[in-house]
Every structure is written in C-alpha cells, then in structure tokens.
Amino acid sequence: TGLDSNSRKKLELLLNDLAKEGTTIILITDENNIPSFITHIAELNKGELIQFSQKENFKNHTTKNIAFNTGEIPAKQQQQSFQAIISMKNVAVKYGNKTILENINWQIKQGERWLLKGHNGAGKSTLLSLITGDNPQAYSNEIYLFDKKRGS
C-alpha cells in the first residue's frame, strides 16, 4: 500500500517473474492484495498463527471475527480556539542541490479532510515529515500547527 498503482503493478510483475524462476517469496499483505503467484497463506491475528493453508483452501475457509464497539457515539466536541490545524507558507525542502519541495502554500482548517496523493518520489512523505517535525527542515520553514509557529 506504500506504492502508487503503477509501481505496485511493476513490483508484482517482477515478483511474478521471480516466482516462475523458483524463488521463494514471503510477502506481507492483506487478503485484498494477494498476488496470483502466491501458493500458500499463513494468517496471523494478535501475534498468533490462526491458519496456514494453500491459497485455494484459505479463500474457502477464512472467517473473520470483527469486533464492533456497541457503545454510544461520543458527542461532537466543541471546536478549539484555533483557525488552522496546519498552515504552510512558501515551504521548501532541499538536500544539497536537489529540491524536494518548493513554494508549498497549504492550509488545513478544522473539520476538513484531505487526501494527499502523488506518485512515488512526489514528496508526500517529506511533506508529512514537516508536519510531524521528523524533518529538521520543519524548523527552518514557516509552518504553523494550531496557529502556533513550529518550534516556538
């Protein structure tokens, strides 16, 4: 899921070729993304092996235990006193001569829900690392969290 759709297709073709050559492949994924070359499946739940079978048998016999919270839905909390959750002004990230992000102006207000998308290498992870503070360049840019300048 960490790859864009084109890269996933290329990776699956590569892994399929390796499987045809007899290479053993151990893949970690969910049941919705099982490639055609997989022959056996081991299912884990909370660190415990709960099923091990050939792929055909796995699909026919898998059951899911889904836990639902049947409690009340919590009341909507009052909005906080800030206007923007995240605000970026002319943000740039460079490593040496390589520019990763340039002139990013972005604001996320309360109640908004955003999807950040782009191909591999587009800068999604770098942008998120600025928000979380995992990127040291977050402190040399004009980035505000909850209306407060990052690092203040």
Q: What is the pLDDT of residues 30-71, one digit of tens each?
A: 777 788 888 888 777 666 666 767 777 875 444 555 555 566
* pLDDT range class, residue 145, cuts 50, 70, 90: very high
Amino acid 22: pLDDT: 81
Class of domain 84-149: alpha beta
CA angle 142, 148, 152 (to 5 degrees): 80
Q: Which residues contact 37 (CB under 8 A, 6 or more apart)?
A: 15, 16, 19, 20, 25
Amino acid 60: pLDDT: 47
Contact yes or no for 139/150 (Cβ under 8 A): yes
Query: Is 89 or 114 the better-scoring residue by pLDDT?
Result: 89
pTM here?
0.55
Q: What is the pLDDT of residues 73-113, one digit of tens each?
A: 666 666 678 888 899 999 999 999 999 999 999 999 887 88
Amino acid 68: pLDDT: 53
Structure tokens at 79: 């909005």
What are the extents of the domains in the chain? Answer: 5-61, 84-149
Torsion on CA atoms 87, 90, 93, 99, rounded to nearest 10:
140
Instruction: Look at residue 122 and tell me whether its pLDDT is greater than 80.
Output: yes
Interval 109-137 mean pLDDT = 86
Instruction: Look at residue 127 and tell me whether its pLDDT is greater than 60.
Output: yes
Phi-psi category of residue 149: left, alpha or beta, with phi > 0 → left and psi -120 to 50 → alpha? beta
d(CA 144, CA 138): 10
Amino acid 55: pLDDT: 78
Amino acid 111: pLDDT: 75
Amino acid 62: pLDDT: 46
